[in-house]
């Protein structure tokens, strides 16, 4: 427990606590405002669209906010010192070595993916996906007021990505990952000598296909099996969804938009699936799954 | 006395109009002031409501200003070489008057800005403010988010202590695995990538985080990134106005 308290009160980690509190508060605020608007029918913002003068009505809010922020920054800076550890030393690796807090969600994903996915491909997809949002969400409703009813899918998807995959993984990566990036509950002591004995398995091995041939080269059958799984996952789900649910989704969005939405959505869920694939076997005393798809050049 | 001062040419040249509380003067107050005239003269009532915008965009900008000022002060005391960087930090923390205050404020404001930018994005999403005509400003926003993170990350290295080099080592190690361009990434080796010629090498100015990295990150942190971020902020603010101010429900479409 003392470990956990030490980590949570580390000056550099205060933003994470603020983030958690902030995210809960603002989610609640937005939800309750959205609900109120949904019940009312006409959003309340629409009744407040008469014009007011910026001076004084906006300027005074900005002025107060400025004073408040400055006061908080001064108090924060007087009471907590920015960390300054021992001088940089290339031959002394701290354990655990952690990236700055806002990247810890990505570092946490290193448990589940190789660096080229967790560190390069996923961040790229996140950025491009974010930029694509205005162009793929063509729902005209819900522009400029809080609501839930008018855009359920958009809000649920974005909130899942932001709150669960981004914010909560940051919290896990910072607060619950100790030496060797091993998982420790808050009440457990960080034991630097703890070694998690894990024999990894690949998905194909659960189906009786060994990943490697006796000469240690990659088994082509396993490669093909993996390719079928991954490519199948990316194609079958979007097509199935079209067939099963309403096909006018395609008419509304067009093929290109639909494909992008499906790709981004399936990728996001894929991250969750990979986490589940790795963690659930452990619950049953089985070997955790490391790769779904192994090739001589890259592994997924 | 003040009244007669108000009649002088100096006073008039600075303040340009009287301060009687009239509609016209309230408007002039905004238009005649170079800082305030970023604003429109009049806005929708709900746009000044903190519970609608959460004020997070404005606070991000304020924090950026605080960071610029404290950052410039820090530059007077800091030399970006492996030999001096750490010593300068020690000196700053122990011997410079108000040194710790300035450094702490720079660091905490940086953290806070990452936080407020994320919350700002969350708000903009939840009010659907990226919808037409504001699509492009959302894209500009995503770029600002990226630059905010890069600024924070590049600054993290500068104290040149254990915390900073290892955090940056962990972060930049990812670049080795870049597909095609990293020496451990898919198809990287096949394309001739080695530790001494891949993207990570370009980023670090070496095969590991070392003195050239410090200089690279310093220049990026103090010049390249802030200048670009500033340019995007100018576009961001200008677009807010061109897109019709803060978003609000369109009453023509949504019948009551
Ligand atoms: C350095 C970072 C940023 C700064 C300083 C900044 C600043 C601002 C400010 C002052 C506003 C006015 C309204 C408000 O305060 O909420 C605003 C609005 C807006 N921002 Fe940002 N922003 C930043 C990053 C972002 C990001 C990351 C996004 C989205 C990905 C974004 C998208 C928008 C949009 C679409 C609007 C218009 C909102 C509306 O009309 O309701 N901005 N920004």
Residues B197-203: contacts with CB under 8 Å, at least 24 apart: B199/B175, B200/B172, B200/B173, B200/B175, B200/B176, B203/B172, B203/B175
Exposed (0-12), middle (13-18) or buried (19+): which is A228, by Cβ within 10 Å?
Answer: exposed
Look at residue A246 in the predicted model and tell me its pLDDT: 63
Give the per-residue SS3 of A218-283: ECHHHHHHHHHHHHHHHHHHHHHHHHHCCCHHHHHHHHHHHHHHHHHHHHHHHHHHHHHHHHHHHH
Interface of A with B in 86-105 (CB under 8 A): 86-90, 92-94, 97-103
Q: Chain A partners of B103 at a C-beta cutoff of 8 Å? A: 82
Lowest mean pLDDT among B16-30, B118-132, B189-203: B16-30
> From CA A84, how far away is CA A282, in angstroms rounded?
39
> From CA A284, how far away is CA B131, in angstroms rounded?
47
Question: What residues contact A21, with CB distance under 8 A and at least 6 apart?
Answer: none
- Say whether A146 and B127 touch across the interface (CB within 8 A): yes
Cα-to-centroid distance, A233 and ligand 1 (Å):
36
Q: What are the angstrom distances between the C-alpha of B74 and each of A108, B78, B156, B203?
A: 33, 6, 14, 24
Look at residue B54 and tell me whether its pLDDT is greater than 90.
yes
B80 or A208, higher pLDDT: B80
The segments of chain A whose pLDDT lies below 50 read none
Domain span at A198: 2-48+96-283
Sign of CA dihedral A26, B60, A151, B47: positive
**Per-residue pLDDT band at B256 (split at 50, 70, 90):** very low
Q: Whose CA is nearest to atom 43 of ligand 1?
A: B57
Asked if residues B117 and B145 have their Cβ atoms less than 8 Å apart, the reply is: yes
**DSSP β-bridge partners for residue B26:** none
CATH class of the domain defined by B43-245: mainly alpha
Q: Chain B partners of A56 at a C-beta cutoff of 8 Å? A: 26
* Any atom of ligand 1 within 6 Å of the Cβ of B121: yes
Given A65, A118, A131, which is nearest B58 (Cβ)?
A65
Q: Is there a domain that residue A245 lies in?
A: yes
Number of compact structural domains in chain A:
1
Query: pLDDT tens digit string along B24-50?
Result: 888 888 887 877 888 888 888 888 889
All CATH 1.20.810.10 domain ranges of chain B, comma separated, are 43-245
- Say whether B45 and A51 touch across the interface (CB within 8 A): yes
Q: Residue B148's closest CA among B85, B225, B94?
A: B225
B22 or A120, higher pLDDT: A120
Supply the DSSP string of B45-111, one letter for each residue. Answer: GGGG-HHHHTTHHHHHHHHHHHHHHHHHHHHTT---STTTHHHHHHHHHHTSTTHHHHHHHHHHHHH
The residue-averaged pLDDT of B144-156 equals 97
> From CA A199, how far away is CA A193, in angstroms rounded?
18
* Interior angle at CA A47, CA A50 and CA B127, nearest 5: 100
Q: Is there a domain that residue A289 lies in?
A: no
Q: Residue B46's closest CA among A66, A67, A23, A37?
A: A37
- Say whether B108 and A76 touch across the interface (CB within 8 A): yes
> From CA B184, how far away is CA B177, in angstroms rounded?
5
Q: Is there a domain that residue A62 lies in?
A: no
Asked if residues B157 and B166 have their Cβ atoms less than 8 Å apart, the reply is: no
> From CA A248, how far away is CA A234, in angstroms rounded?
21
H helices of chain B, where? 2-6, 9-15, 23-31, 50-53, 56-75, 85-94, 99-126, 135-157, 162-173, 199-204, 211-219, 225-242
> From CA B213, how far away is CA B198, in angstroms rounded?
15
Look at residue B17 and tell me whether its pLDDT is greater than 90.
no
Closest-CA residue of chain A to B112: A15
Q: Is there a domain that residue A259 lies in?
A: yes
Q: Is there a domain that residue A91 lies in?
A: no
Look at residue A121 in the predicted model and tell me its pLDDT: 96
Q: Chain A partners of B249 at a C-beta cutoff of 8 Å? A: 43, 45-46, 49, 143-145
Look at residue B254 in the predicted model and tell me its pLDDT: 43
Residue among B59, B109, B120 whose CB has most ligand 1 atoms within 8 A, to mutate: B120
The average confidence (pLDDT) of chain B is 92
| pTM higher than 0.90 | yes
Q: Is there a domain that residue A85 lies in?
A: no
Question: What residues contact A230, with CB distance under 8 A and at least 6 apart?
Answer: A292, A293, A300
Q: Is there a domain that residue A145 lies in?
A: yes
Q: Is there a domain that residue A90 lies in?
A: no
Atom of ligand 1 nearest to the CA of B148: 1
- Say whether A143 and B164 touch across the interface (CB within 8 A): no
Given A22, A49, A69, which is nearest B251 (Cβ)?
A49
Query: pLDDT tens digit string along B174-211?
Result: 999 999 999 988 998 898 898 888 999 999 999 999 99
> From CA B111, how far away is CA B15, in angstroms rounded?
38
Cα-to-centroid distance, A132 and ligand 1 (Å):
16
Q: Is B180 on the interface with A (CB under 8 A)?
A: no
Q: Is B93 on the interface with A (CB under 8 A)?
A: yes
Q: Is A38 on the interface with B (CB under 8 A)?
A: no
Q: Whose CA is nearest to atom 18 of ligand 1?
A: B57
Look at residue A4 in the predicted model and tell me its pLDDT: 84
Q: Chain A partners of B179 at a C-beta cutoff of 8 Å? A: 116, 120-121, 298
Look at residue B132 in the predicted model and tell me its pLDDT: 93
Asked if residues B214 and B159 have their Cβ atoms less than 8 Å apart, the reply is: no
Look at residue B33 in the predicted model and tell me its pLDDT: 81
Cα-to-centroid distance, B232 and ligand 1 (Å):
11
């Amino acid at each position: 427990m003392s470990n956990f308290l030490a980590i949570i009160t580390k000056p550099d980690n205060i933003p994470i606590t603020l983030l958690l509190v902030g995210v809960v508060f603002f989610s609640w605020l937005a939800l309750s405002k959205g609900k109120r608007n949904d019940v009312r029918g006409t959003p309340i913002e629409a009744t407040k669209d008469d014009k007011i003068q910026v001076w004084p009505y906006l300027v005074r809010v900005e002025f107060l906010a400025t004073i408040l922020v400055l006061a908080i920054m001064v108090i924060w800076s007087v009471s907590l010192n920015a960390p300054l550890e021992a001088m940089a030393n290339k031959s002394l690796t701290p354990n655990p070595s952690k990236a700055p807090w806002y990247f810890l969600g990505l570092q946490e994903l290193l448990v589940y993916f190789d660096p080229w996915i967790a560190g390069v491909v996923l961040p790229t997809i996140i950025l491009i996906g974010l930029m694509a949002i205005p162009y793929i969400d063509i729902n005209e409703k819900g522009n400029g007021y809080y609501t839930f009813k008018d855009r359920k899918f958009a809000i649920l998807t974005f909130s899942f990505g932001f709150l669960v995959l981004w914010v909560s993984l940051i919290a896990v990566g910072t607060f619950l990952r100790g030496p060797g990036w091993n998982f420790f509950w808050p009440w457990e002591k960080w034991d630097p000598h703890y070694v998690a004995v894990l024999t990894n398995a690949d998905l194909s091995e659960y189906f009786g296909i060994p990943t490697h041939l006796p000469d240690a080269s990659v088994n082509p059958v396993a490669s093909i099996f993996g390719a079928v799984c991954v490519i199948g996952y990316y194609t079958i789900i979007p097509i199935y969804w079209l067939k099963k649910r309403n096909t006018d989704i395609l008419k509304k969005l067009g093929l290109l938009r639909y494909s992008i939405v499906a790709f981004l959505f399936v990728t996001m869920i894929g991250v969750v699936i990979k986490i589940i694939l790795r963690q659930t076997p452990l619950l049953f005393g089985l070997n955790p799954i490391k790769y779904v798809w192994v090739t001589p050049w890259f592994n997924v | 006395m003040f009244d007669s001062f108000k009649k002088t040419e100096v006073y008039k040249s600075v303040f340009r109009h009287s301060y009687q509380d009239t509609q016209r003067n309230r408007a002039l107050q905004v238009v005649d002031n170079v800082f305030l005239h970023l604003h429109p003269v009049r806005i929708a009532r709900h746009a000044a409501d903190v519970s609608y915008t959460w004020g997070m965009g404005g606070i991000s900008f304020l924090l950026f200003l605080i960071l610029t000022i404290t950052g410039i002060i820090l530059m007077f005391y800091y030399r970006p070489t492996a030999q001096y960087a750490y010593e300068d930090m020690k000196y700053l923390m122990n011997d410079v008057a108000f040194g710790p205050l300035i450094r702490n404020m720079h660091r905490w404001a940086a953290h806070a800005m990452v936080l407020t930018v994320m919350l700002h994005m969350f708000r903009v999403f939840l009010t659907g403010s990226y919808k037409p005509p504001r699509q492009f400003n959302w894209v500009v926003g995503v770029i600002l988010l990226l630059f905010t993170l890069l600024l924070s990350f590049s600054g993290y290295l500068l104290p040149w202590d254990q915390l900073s080099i290892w955090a940056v080592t962990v972060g930049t190690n990812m670049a080795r695995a870049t597909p095609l361009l990293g020496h451990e990434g898919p198809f990287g080796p096949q394309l001739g990538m080695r530790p001494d010629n891949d993207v990570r090498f370009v980023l670090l100015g070496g095969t590991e985080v070392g003195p050239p990295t410090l200089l690279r990150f310093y220049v990026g942190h103090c010049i390249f990134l802030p200048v670009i971020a500033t340019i995007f902020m100018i576009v961001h603010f200008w677009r807010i106005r061109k897109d019709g101010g803060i978003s609000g429900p369109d009453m023509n479409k949504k019948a009551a």
